Amino acid sequence: MRFISTRGQTAPLGFSDAVATGLAPDGGLFLPETLPDLSGALTRYAGLGYAELCFEFLRIFATDIPAETLRALVAQSYTAFSDPEIAPLKKLGPNLQVLELFHGPTLAFKDFALQLLGNLYGHQCRVRGESINVLGATSGDTGAAAIHGLLGKPGTAIFILYPDGRVSPLQERQMACTGAANVFALAVDGTFDDAQAALKEVFADQTFRLRHRLSAVNSINLARVLAQCVYYLHAWLKLPAAERERVEFVVPTGNFGNVLAGWLLQQMGVPIRGFKVATNQNDILFRFFTTGEYRVGAVAPSLAPSMDIQVASNFERFLYHQVGRDPARLRAIMAEFAATGRYRLENWQRGTFTASRCTDAEIPGIIRRVHRDYGYIVDPHTACAFQDLSPDRMSVVLATASPAKFPETIRAAIGIEPQDASLEALKSRPVVKHRLRADPAAIRQFIAEHAVS
């Protein structure tokens, strides 16, 4: 299978090249050239374990990796999950289930994609006989998940920049207490935006980038989207047949990465009734799905920080399909957005989407209510998805993080501090972080001294 850029000015690439490239050179995002129709294979998929289902799904796309190699890479990617079901479905009521996506090594759903991406990078190093240095900036969860995807992998090193003192202590420990020699947690002075801006300049230095074979961790990698399709499919197959076509997945989101994966699966012929886009107070997606206008606002930091986003980086993939897969129209919209910070789709139909938003003032009350009504503790991101649930649908809420990652917010809401053994174990390990100025020259120098060659 080949992958095209949404902006239509990059030649189609095979799976491994599209994954290694990340962002297409024309500024677009990679998508499958044609979407497969899975409707005839669903009976065959039912009953497969998580890793086997993931392999069966990915082999449709990763046609340039030998099947047995792919099977092994996928199997390895889900061994660090603590629950044997990988993504267990918990029933809270007759019309309400929770899909728990937080049993990976960093206790948030990003592990589903980044464990796999780490193994794909490792494979690429072996095949090409080349090392790879992965670089990213994080405000929390992505950096930790990317680090745990590459931990100790031969031929790789990973450098994660984060704003010193501005990520939670637990998140910092997940990055800085691994003990792995190929992991570098770089605590940068300034804000996340300062770290991001410095990183952009490092990548813009073409000579430096090529010399150290730098690759970016970001939320738009094709492999991340495809890996995330699998838990929707797994959950859908586990529901009783009579309930499958009533299912609305309720997805806490900021970048539209998670919900995009579910929607793509629906486009591949899996009869899912619909999706609810659940935002926090940074509600650009809520506003789009209720009005058809996409307009940036200012980011207001919230209790659900991994959704504090105003420009949803994966939304372009959805838009591409909405404009009839016409790259010229998409380019015109993106140009209008870059110039004015807004656009409106003409004759736009909401389709099978609904939307909700949840402010910081509402999150603690929802955590309390869910605990009281169901005896279940949700993290502040997942709490956003419990806003305005539709009683007449079968709602499957995606739980994107473990409540143990946000002990203060949970304690303030219900007086209980959730714990997790893996997080407790981190507290006794030394923090190894490198303090740097948010300055491209300082960052380049650090990388030059520590990169694998």
Ligand X SMILES: *Cc1c(COP(=O)(O)O)cnc(C)c1O
Q: Which is nearer to ligand X, 5 or 142 (CB)?
A: 142
Residue 255 engages ligand X in binding (rule: CB under 6 A): yes
Query: How far apart are alpha carbons 444 and 453 in whole angstroms?
Result: 15
Quick one: which segment of 207-215, 248-256, 408-416, 419-427 binds ligand X (CB under 6 A)?
248-256
In terms of C-beta density within 10 A (0-12 exposed, 13-18 middle, 19 or more buried), how is residue 368 classed?
Answer: middle
Quick one: which segment of 123-131, 253-261, 337-345, 442-450 binds ligand X (CB under 6 A)?
253-261
Residue 280 engages ligand X in binding (rule: CB under 6 A): no
Query: How far apart are alpha carbons 289 and 394 in whole angstroms?
Result: 20
Site for ligand X in 256-275 (CB under 6 A): 256-258
All residues at 6 or more sequence positions from 233 whose CB lies less than 8 Å from its CB, including other chains: 38, 45, 53, 57, 265, 270
Per the rule left: phi > 0, alpha: psi between -120 and 50, beta: everything else, 32 is: beta
Tell which one of 53, 54, 73, 108 touches ligand X (CB under 6 A): 108
Q: Which is nearer to ligand X, 215 or 253 (CB)?
A: 253
In terms of C-beta density within 10 A (0-12 exposed, 13-18 middle, 19 or more buried), how is residue 141 classed?
Answer: buried
Q: How far is the CB of 257 from ligand X (least distance, A)?
A: 3
Q: Which is nearer to ligand X, 252 or 274 (CB)?
A: 252
Is residue 110 part of the annotated active site? The answer reads yes
Applying CB under 6 A, what is the total number of residues that bind ligand X?
A: 16
Residue 252 engages ligand X in binding (rule: CB under 6 A): yes
Q: Which is nearer to ligand X, 53 or 397 (CB)?
A: 397
All residues at 6 or more sequence positions from 326 whose CB lies less than 8 Å from its CB, including other chains: none
Q: How far is the CB of 47 from ligand X (least distance, A)?
A: 29
Tell which one of 56, 111, 141, 172 touches ligand X (CB under 6 A): 141
Tell which one of 124, 139, 253, 356 touches ligand X (CB under 6 A): 253
At 249, list the tokens. 């997945």
Q: Which is nearer to ligand X, 55 or 289 (CB)?
A: 289
Q: Which is nearer to ligand X, 144 or 436 (CB)?
A: 144
Q: Is 402 helix (H, G, I), strand (E, B) or coil?
A: coil
Q: How far is the CB of 261 from ligand X (least distance, A)?
A: 9
Give the residue among 87, 324, 123, 351 at the shortest CA–CA distance from 229: 87
Q: Which is nearer to ligand X, 256 or 288 (CB)?
A: 256
**What character string, x for contact with ligand X (CB under 6 A) and - otherwise, covers 213-242?**
------x-----------------------
Q: How far is the CB of 313 from ligand X (least distance, A)?
A: 8
Q: Which is nearer to ligand X, 202 or 309 (CB)?
A: 309
Q: Name the residue number minimizing CB distance to ligand X.
A: 257
Q: How far is the CB of 235 from ligand X (least distance, A)?
A: 16
Site for ligand X in 147-206 (CB under 6 A): none
Q: How far is the CB of 275 from ligand X (least distance, A)?
A: 11
DSSP secondary structure string for all residues of 64-130: TS-HHHHHHHHHHHTTT-SSTTSS-EEEEETTEEEEE---STTSBTHHHHHHHHHHHHHHHHHHHT-
Site for ligand X in 319-378 (CB under 6 A): none
Tell which one of 139, 280, 306, 409 touches ligand X (CB under 6 A): 306
Give the residue among 162, 268, 286, 280 at the shortest CA–CA distance from 225: 268
Site for ligand X in 284-303 (CB under 6 A): none
| CA distances to 213, 309, 349, 452 from 449, in Å | 14, 33, 53, 9
Query: How far apart are alpha carbons 219 and 114 in whole angstroms?
Result: 10
Indicate which residue of 90, 110, 153, 427 is catalytic: 110
**What character string, x for contact with ligand X (CB under 6 A) and - otherwise, covers 55-94?**
----------------------------------------
∠ CA 46-35-116, rounded to 5°? 65
Query: How far apart are alpha carbons 247 and 173 in whole angstroms?
Result: 37
At 336, list the tokens. 């209008």
All residues at 6 or more sequence positions from 205 whose CB lies less than 8 Å from its CB, including other chains: 440, 444
At 433, list the tokens. 């972080």
Residue 98 engages ligand X in binding (rule: CB under 6 A): no
Query: How far apart are alpha carbons 277 and 245 in whole angstroms?
Result: 18
Which residues are catalytic, by number?
Answer: 110
Which residues contact ligand X (rule: CB under 6 A)?
A: 108, 110, 141, 219, 252-258, 306-307, 381, 400-401
